[in-house]
Chains A and B, each alone.
Chain A
Amino acid sequence: MRCTGSIDPALFIQAFEKGVDGIAVIGCRLEECRYRFGNVFAEEKLTHVKGLLELLGLSADRIISERVTSADGAKLADRLEAFVNEIRELGPVPITPSRKAKNADKESVDKEVKQLVEDTKAYKCVDCGKCTAVCPIPKFEPEFPMPRIMVLRSIEGMTDHLSDGQDIWTCTTCGLCNSLCPFDVDYCGFIQGLRAQARALGNDPTCSHRGLIHSAMRIMAKATSIRQDRLRWIPPDLSISERSDVFYFVGCLPHFDTVLADRNLRLTDISVAAVQLMNAAGVSPHISNDEVCCGHDLIWTGDEENFLKLMDKNLKIIRKSGAETVVFSCPECYRTFLRDYQEFEGDLGFEPLHISEYLQRLMDDGRLTFPKRESATPVTYHDSCRLGIHLEVIDSPRRLFEAAGLKVVEMDNTKNRSYCCGNCAWTNCSSTTMKMQLERMRQAKRTGAEYLLTSDPKCQIHLSCAMSGKLPIERELVDVPVKDMAIALAEILKGKT
């Protein structure tokens, strides 16, 4: 290690995931950085890591940073000894590290892939090429194998590419191919299944943030008897109930606010807005400190084992709460419950709903009304893959916008023919992703809308990521502010325009 500033925060979180109980970062004194501000940068990153540890229910005291000179040997020894004692007092991190599984053999993988071809009806593919024509990736990355080529390879029993190919992780699983396939091949399900096999062969995806996010999710999956601290975002004026028919599932927004602290996205404001809107309709939802990540990003990176652990925890919490309806701000969580949880678990015993569907229902019942407004603000709406294409929830958000006095100007690709924000489950983000994001922002700008509204916090993260740095084109061509729909609606409700 050359500088504590060069330690990727992911290393800390991955160490805890593997069962480490405490980490001491030992570096130069702050004002003596050989590289100017490396250690100040390190301290800043450490505050993010500590924030994440607190959220996860691992004490922030499990990391210390000691800034010493070569003359401080005795002092350091004392400090480390004290630290070890502090860790002993805290006890071990309640995570059982999983043994590194041996890579699956080719034979079993071939068998699984064969089954997958059956399950997803991939065998029905007639090589018509509709999926290829609509896939957004090859336009920017001509060497990307068309969806149907991946299918045909598998039908032919060619599985070698699974052990090291990156293409399997490049697909954004946006689902346009699914929606256009005349023979109902479930291409997204096929990719999801192939990824589990790729992973079994030791082919891990290259993830943004060096896998820190997935690692945090695995900690949530594996940790037992851990007290999370995930409700800090709730302001005192929100009405929350200990028991309610409605369970509001927050998802990973507090975690993203911490991990992406540099970007200052304030994603938990989305949850605040969602609850404010529910409150305005007289609904006081239950929010649980014990919910965990839905597991979307794990199952889409082939980690079924930990996905199932998360699913079990969530279902237990929700069923125990007695809620009949579970409302999601994040379409990924929503899809995961509606599709994946039901696939493994059958009937869930409660109704999952996206916030837009739920608010529409409240509006239809006359419980939620928006103030009349003089002029309609032009906005455009980005249908996320999960909500718009996979689940075809298209009208609810638009009806809400209309009721709130917003005029939706549609982009070139819209509704169930939407255009992906470029990334899913943080895998293989690249220069291609950036180009897709700029293309989407260009579409939004061309509509003349004042805002690009999203209903998916992840799309907001990814699209605003593209805008947060330097651009290869004129900024005027793409600069539309990205805003979550719940925040926009709550602002209108409060009389802000």
Chain B
Amino acid sequence: MREFCDKRGRERVVIGACSPEVPENPLRGDLEEAGINGYLVEQVDIREQCAWVHSSIGPATAKATALIRGAIDRSLRQEPLEDLSFDIAGAALIIGCSEPGIQAAMKISEAGFRVYLIDEEGSGRSPTERTPADPDSGILAGHENVEILLNCHIEAIDGIFGRRHVKVHTAQGPREFEVGTILVVTPREASAKDSFDHSSSDNPSLITVAEFERLLMGLEKGMQPLRPSDGAPLRRIGFVQRVDDDKEAGRAAPEQSAFIALAITQALRLKRLRPDMEIDFYVHEAEGLLRTSKALSDSAARSGIKFNSVAAPPDITSEDGSTLVRARHLGHDESTDVESDLVVAVGDRRASGMASRALELLHAGTGESRTGGDFAGGQAADLNRGIFVIRTSDSKEAAARADNETEPAASAMVRIMRQQTVRVPRHVAHVQEYRCRGCGKCADICEHDAIKLVEKEKGEQVAQIDELRCEGCGLCRVACCNGAMALLGYTTTQLLAQMLGMIEEVGG
């Protein structure tokens, strides 16, 4: 390969091969050694895209040719880039001394890394509760690398992936340390249903968005959904926005509105499968919440989904198998009752206490919307590189999941720390300053706090990317109406060239 590149002055390479696109692809490494910038190497996974999924050779070959043609056209528009590089500190922070936390601490310390195991509570609770480990219990005897800090309060977590600087306050005074990876074990989280009064949270017809998603998937597979209370067929479903009682002003809104967007999408899917289904939405503060997903709610309204702007969260009561939603509409004094077969509680509850504080400091979220998928099984999302979350709960299902997640998370943490330096592809957002109008829509859409507006000169603002925070999701470039935002390695110009190349190859 080196000879090929040296002799003929090749700069860009397209690999059309059977190996799947994996970061450890040896060919890519060889090419980089031969002096070719890795960002100028495109790969087409012929095996996955063609050989494995098509039965007739002719069309599969035509598809392979088109894919390669697209890759060539895209490659021609790629720019050479440098990876982002992170030094990793050889210490881990584990928040939450419950069972998964202790297991992970043991595993990481056995691999030779220092572990700070912290909890906001002290020792000495009854063993039937999921207690913090009692330092005297001996369970961590022989793990000198583990330092347990109880009655602890997190002051700050600064820094970036690999070197996060943690400041905590303990009974013995303040402590500071640097960690390479973090595991957050959340205590039991309240379900979205809990915000309704106790009697209704026992109601089997009151379900969460996540539970509804499972129901919807069943429906998409052709199953008939039935009323959970008595197995009667479903005719009318209400989506009720749950309002956080401890809502901090202005904080909950973006999450709430994203949840509503998610629920509307679910309602639309349902309506598509079952056009006869009556669907009601009860939204609190509808103006502000629906603003961000106006088009979505408009299209839902067009499909016959009813939106009710309510003055307060509706009361949910159950009666003879059906569920009554009692809502007072905005601007009305009287309440109206609607009989529903199923009520979906739309909303999220943050993790509580210290775990919540840590996740907030780390700009990482948790909740029903993200079923732990981001963080579980060692697949840290790029921004939160090195941050893992395990959600515990009283339910058997969640406990089993927590068990399953602990081992892979701990292994992944060890793997990251062993690398000492982690290189991450520079697939991050990039601002073309001339085209940036400084409107801040990119910063608004960014879930990762990676974009801020800075003053370029008096009377002119421009977006600035924090490459270390950017996860490379590319939403900002869609939010920018003006093409000022690019996603390096995946620019619209490159994608367009790739797409047009493929279209042209198959003959338009």
Q: Which residues of A contact B (CB under 8 A)?
A: 1-3, 5-11, 14-15, 18-20, 29-38, 40-41, 43-45, 47-48, 51, 75, 77, 97, 100, 206-210, 260-262, 264, 429-431, 433-435, 438, 465-466, 468-470, 472-473
Query: Cβ of B492 and Cβ of A8 under 8 Å apart?
Result: yes
B475-500, CB < 8 A from A = 475, 477-478, 481-483, 487, 490, 492, 495-496, 499-500
Roughly how many angstroms separate A75 CA and B220 CA in the complex, as a whole number?
11
Scan residues 446-504 of chain B and give those whose CB is less than 8 A from a CB of chain A: 447-448, 453, 455-456, 459-462, 471-475, 477-478, 481-483, 487, 490, 492, 495-496, 499-500, 503-504
B490's contact among A5, A6, A32, A41, by CB below 8 Å, is which? A6
- Cα A451 to Cα B445 in complex, Å, equals 30
Is B477 a contact partner of A8 (Cβ separation < 8 A)? yes
B299 touching A41, Cβ below 8 Å: no
Does A6 contact B461, Cβ atoms closer than 8 Å? no
Which chain B residues numbered 262 to 314 have a C-beta less than 8 Å away from chain A?
A: 262, 265-266, 291, 293-296, 298-299
Q: Once the chains bind, are A3 and B483 in contact (CB under 8 Å)?
A: no
A37 B447 Cβ-Cβ under 8 A: yes
- The 12 listed contacts between A and B (C-beta, < 8 Å) are A2-B472, A6-B478, A11-B492, A14-B499, A31-B369, A43-B265, A44-B296, A429-B437, A430-B435, A431-B433, A431-B435, A435-B460
A10-B492, A14-B496, A262-B294 given; A37·B438 CB < 8 A = no
Contact B477 A6 (CB under 8 A): yes
B427 interface residue, CB < 8 Å from A?
yes
Tell me if B373 is interfacial: C-beta within 8 Å of chain A: yes
Given contacts A100-B504, A206-B435, contact A31 B475 (CB under 8 A): no
Cβ distance B61 to chain A, nearest Cβ, rounded Å = 18
- In chain B, residues 373-395, which have Cβ atoms closer than 8 Å to a Cβ of chain A? 373-374, 381
Q: In the complex the two chains form, what is the Cα distance from A75 to B472 in whole Å?
A: 29
For the complex formed, measure the closest distance between the CB of B335 and the CB atoms of chain A, giving whole angstroms.
Answer: 30
Closest residue on chain A to residue B476 by CB atoms: A6
Q: A14-B499, A51-B295, A469-B438 are in contact. List 8 more A-B contacts (CB 8 A).
A: A2-B473, A30-B266, A31-B370, A41-B478, A75-B221, A431-B456, A465-B439, A473-B459
Answer whether residue B434 sits at the interface, using C-beta atoms and an 8 A cutoff: yes
**Nearest-Cβ distance from residue A390 to partner chain B, whole angstroms:** 25
Q: Mark B232-271, 1 if CB is under 8 A from A, else 0.
A: 0000000000000000000000000010011001100000
Q: Which B residues have a C-beta under 8 Å from some C-beta of A?
A: 53, 209-210, 213, 221, 258, 261-262, 265-266, 291, 293-296, 298-299, 365, 368-371, 373-374, 381, 427, 433-441, 445, 447-448, 453, 455-456, 459-462, 471-475, 477-478, 481-483, 487, 490, 492, 495-496, 499-500, 503-504, 508
Report the separation of the CA atoms of residues A128 and B445 in the bound assembly, to the nearest whole angstrom. 49
In the complex, what residues of A have CB within 8 A of residue B213's CB? Answer: 29-31
Q: List chain A residues, Cβ under 8 A from B439.
A: 434, 465-466, 468-470
Whether B499 contacts A11 by the Cβ 8 Å rule is yes
A470 to B508, CA, bound (A): 42
Q: Could you tell me if B299 and A8 are in contact, using CB atoms closer than 8 angstroms?
A: no
The 8 Å CB contact of A210, one of B370, B460, B483, B487, is: B483
Which 4 A-B residue pairings sit nearest by Cβ, starting from the closest? A469-B439, A6-B474, A35-B473, A470-B440
Q: Is the beta-carbon distance between A470 and B478 smaller than 8 angstroms?
A: no
Give the shortest distance, in Å, between A70 (CB) and chain B (any CB): 11
Given contacts A433-B437, A469-B437, A470-B438, contact A38 B475 (CB under 8 A): yes
Q: Nearest residue in B to A44 (C-beta to C-beta)?
A: B296
From B209, B262, B295, B448, give the contact of A48 (CB < 8 A): B295
Least CB distance from A49 to B in Å reads 10
A40-B261, A43-B296, A431-B433 are contacts. A469–B475 as well, Cβ < 8 Å?
Answer: no
Interface centre among A5, A15, A466 (most CB of B within 10 A): A5
A10-B492, A51-B299, A209-B481 as given contacts; A37 in contact with B261, CB under 8 Å: yes
A470 to B436, CA, bound (A): 12
CA distance A205 to B485 in the complex (A): 17
Contacts of A434 in B (CB 8 A): 437-439, 460
A11 and B495 form a contact (CB under 8 A): yes
Residue from A1, A35, A210, A429 in contact with B447 in the complex, judged by beta carbons closer than 8 Å: A35
Known: A2-B472, A30-B262, A41-B475. A431 touches B295 (CB 8 A): no
Q: Name which residue of chain A comes closest to B296, CB basis.
A: A44
Are A206 and B474 in contact, CB atoms less than 8 angstroms apart?
A: no
Kindly list chain A residues whose C-beta atoms are within 8 Å of the C-beta of B482.
208, 429-430
- Set of chain A residues within 8 Å of B453, measured between Cβ atoms: 470
Separation in Å of the B425 CB from the closest CB of chain A? 10
Q: Which of B294, B434, B475, B481 contacts A465 (CB 8 A)?
A: B481
Q: How far is the CB of B254 from chain A (nearest CB, A)?
A: 9
Q: What A residues does B299 contact at CB under 8 A? A: 47, 51
Q: Determine whether the beta carbon of B460 is less than 8 Å from that of A40.
A: no
Our pick among A7, A30, A262 for the contact of B265 (Cβ within 8 Å) is: A30
CB distance from A472 to the nearest CB of B (A): 4
Given contacts A31-B213, A31-B369, A77-B53, contact A472 B460 (CB under 8 A): yes
Give CA–CA (A36, B365) in the complex, Å: 8
- Take A31-B213, A430-B434 as given contacts and tell me if A261 and B295 are in contact as well, using a CB distance cutoff of 8 Å: yes
- Closest chain-A Cβ to B161's Cβ sits at a distance in Å of 16
Among A5, A14, A20, A47, which residue has its beta carbon within 8 angstroms of that of B474?
A: A5
* A45, B504: Cβ atoms closer than 8 Å: no
Which residues of A lie under 8 Å from residue B487 when comparing CB positions? 2, 6
